[in-house]
Chains A and B, each alone.
Chain A
Amino acid sequence: MLYLDGIVKDFGGLRALSHLTVSFEEGQFVGLIGPNGSGKTTLLNCISGIYTPDEGTIRFQNKVISKLKPHRIFQLGIGRTFQISKVFNRLSVLKNLRIPGLTEGRMDVKTIDKRAEEILTAIKLDHLMHEPAASLSGGQKKLLEIGMVMMIDPRFLLLDEPFGGVHPELKSQLEDYLLRLHRAGKTIILISHEMPSVFRICERLVVLDHGTLVIQGSPEAVRTDERVINAYLGGNYEA
């Protein structure tokens, strides 16, 4: 479904992604892990169109998307969230959700607002609908970002550190919501350093280091791999 072939991305003299080839099948819940600077976020930025790869191609449903603009990629059904939430602080929570709904172009405002209310109820932010997004906590902003992405009912979700700095109670709510989305057929790629969560909810892990693929496979296979233990998890890791 999403196939990355030989992706290279350089920033000056630094190679962030080095001939990376990896694919993601429909309906999978994939954890993308690796040490800081391993190229995880750069990979998401390349998929979502914020960066154009220097080499290689990205195909989504047999269509090359490596040179498409971010809004086109979003309209194809690939939604993403950011490590530092990119919600629109001065707009109300409802207006934040309206934006992706309106860009989609096929829904009228009434339908958009109805869908927004459903999503806000699902992520338990419905009582804050008319509050400015600036008034939300960090965790609530992460939820709102996912809600914004869900407005167009995407096939593919790219989530960058959704659990980072989130209160444990909200984290568990977020995990439940992501599992519900996965059960509903969404493909999810999740970047996270929260290893217990990753091992609990992901069915496949992709490990990057220095912009290259170290290993991919089931959480059990990754957990016991020597290279992953040495490069990332550490010798005495227990999930």
Chain B
Amino acid sequence: MSDRPMNPYLAGFLLGLVLLLTIFVTGRGLGASGATKSLVVASVGAVAPEHAAASPFYSKLVGPGHENPLKAWLVFEVLGVLIGAFVSGLSSDRLKLVTERGPRVSVKRRLLFAAAGGALFGAGAQLARGCTSGAALSGMAVLSVAGFVTMMAIFGSGFLFAWFTRSLWLGAKAGR
């Protein structure tokens, strides 16, 4: 396969079919941030079980009477994502250890902001009960209010924030 990305409509159609297949077979949608949550819950449950039992957040998910949080659908799905993306990168010759960054950003600054963005995304996904995959895309596919509201909030606010973060992504002159 070429190293050029797939035609976006074809990719979108295939992504839609994968989502449809998921709904058809399992009755649920795709997701991503849920696996991070399972990882955090399992770690806290293992390291500090008393703390987990006392917390209204963890106690619903871990402890006596609960299965291991890592034995969750999304954890296995995200493992599959890792393998699938790796195979895709291998077949398109895109495997490379690299820090992708805007033209005006140092590596250190990029990694710092990536971590900060990840932290916000992780926290926001808890509040909204899902991220771009689980809440927005899968929610839109089943026509839920939550799907459309979350999608509009993520992308709508993104356009506002874009102006303030332009030095992270754009060159000194506008354009790529």
**Real binding pair:** no
- Residues on B facing A (Cβ under 8 Å): none
